[in-house]
Amino acid sequence: MQIFHRSTNTISRATIYGAVFVVAALFWAAANIQRSPYVTYAGVARPQPVPFSHQHHVAGLGIDCRYCHTSVETSSFAGIPPTKTCMNCHSQIWTNAALLEPVRESYRSGKSLVWTRVNDLPDFVYFNHSIHINKGVGCNTCHGPVDRMPLMYNYASLQMEWCLDCHRAPDKYLRPRDQVFNMRYEPPASDKPVRLDGKDYTDQLALGADLIQKYKVRNPMDITTCSTCHR
């Protein structure tokens, strides 16, 4: 005696296949959410105690990155400037601006401003600013067009796949050290060559290959091992 109708077999198969597609769709959705600004905050300006504009200070006034981020060339971290650095200028200009009252109060009280860190890597990731700077990685390679940001935001996802893209092929991104802090630097092209040691380069890969040798960048197989960043 047949208990189930013959169509039950078809329904069962369709249900199994459908479940596979549903699970695959869920994994796809989860992967995209993980890469989205909802998780990475890429492109999202963070609230700060003072709405500091890099666009105004860098592009407008021409202040070099190292004036505020003093340790970026020698330390593992870029450093957040103390209030005294702000007051070097603002004790003379905009002295009564209400917008800058938190800065003045910080200077009077000696209590540091609590800035929200924008480019924030997880605690299990080791990152050294000085290494990247001295190997020819430009500021805007990782931080984006900071000189055009009225409010600071994450330019990139800062996820592992993004870091590995550079570690696996550093020749695509390296530039001469004297151009690291140039926010408007452009890779070499036929109409805009880049000069290095008396030689004009019109191709980024050729320039990058020579910089790898010149700056003694480790082999990509070495800088993509787990222990490079996870120590």
pLDDT 10s digits, 42-65? 889 989 999 999 999 999 999 999
Q: Are residues 119 and 177 in the same domain?
A: yes
Q: Are residues 144 and 56 in the same domain?
A: yes
pLDDT attached to residue 12: 78
Q: What is the mean pLDDT of residues 138-154?
A: 95
Q: What angle, 0 to 180 degrees and rounded to 10, lies between the N-to-C axes of helices 83-90 and 101-109?
A: 120
| Residue 219 DSSP SS3 | coil
- How many CA atoms lie within 13 Å of 153's alpha carbon, on the beta-carbon side? 13
Q: Give CA angle at 131 (168, 176), nearest 5°.
A: 80
pLDDT attached to residue 135: 96
Radius of gyration of the chain (CA): 25
List alpha helices for 36-159, DSSP H: 37-40, 54, 65-68, 83-90, 101-109, 129-134, 139-143
- Is 108 contained in some domain? no
148 close to 55: Cβ distance less than 8 angstroms: yes
Q: What is the mean pLDDT of residues 73-99?
A: 93
pLDDT attached to residue 37: 83
Sign of CA dihedral 164, 170, 176, 179: negative
Q: How far is residue 106's CA from residue 101's CA, in Å, rounded to a whole number?
A: 8
Query: What percentage of the chain exceeds 70 in pLDDT?
Result: 97
Q: Are residues 69 and 26 in the same domain?
A: no
- Is 225 contained in some domain? yes
This prediction has a pTM of: 0.83
User: Greater confidence, 6 or 131?
Assistant: 131
- Is 109 contained in some domain? no
The pair of three-digit structure tokens given for residue 26, joined into one six-digit string: 């869920």
Q: Are residues 23 and 65 in the same domain?
A: no
The pair of three-digit structure tokens given for residue 193, joined into one six-digit string: 């060559």
pLDDT attached to residue 2: 60
Q: How far is residue 202's CA from residue 195's CA, in Å, rounded to a whole number?
A: 9
Q: Are residues 17 and 55 in the same domain?
A: no
The pair of three-digit structure tokens given for residue 169, joined into one six-digit string: 């092929």
pLDDT attached to residue 221: 79
Domain membership of residue 43 as a residue range: 38-80+115-229
User: Number of structural domains, the chain?
Assistant: 2
pLDDT attached to residue 1: 56
9 has a pLDDT exceeding 80 = no
Amino acid at 12: S
pLDDT 10s digits, 175-229? 999 999 999 999 999 999 999 999 999 999 999 999 999 999 988 778 888 988 9
pLDDT attached to residue 30: 86
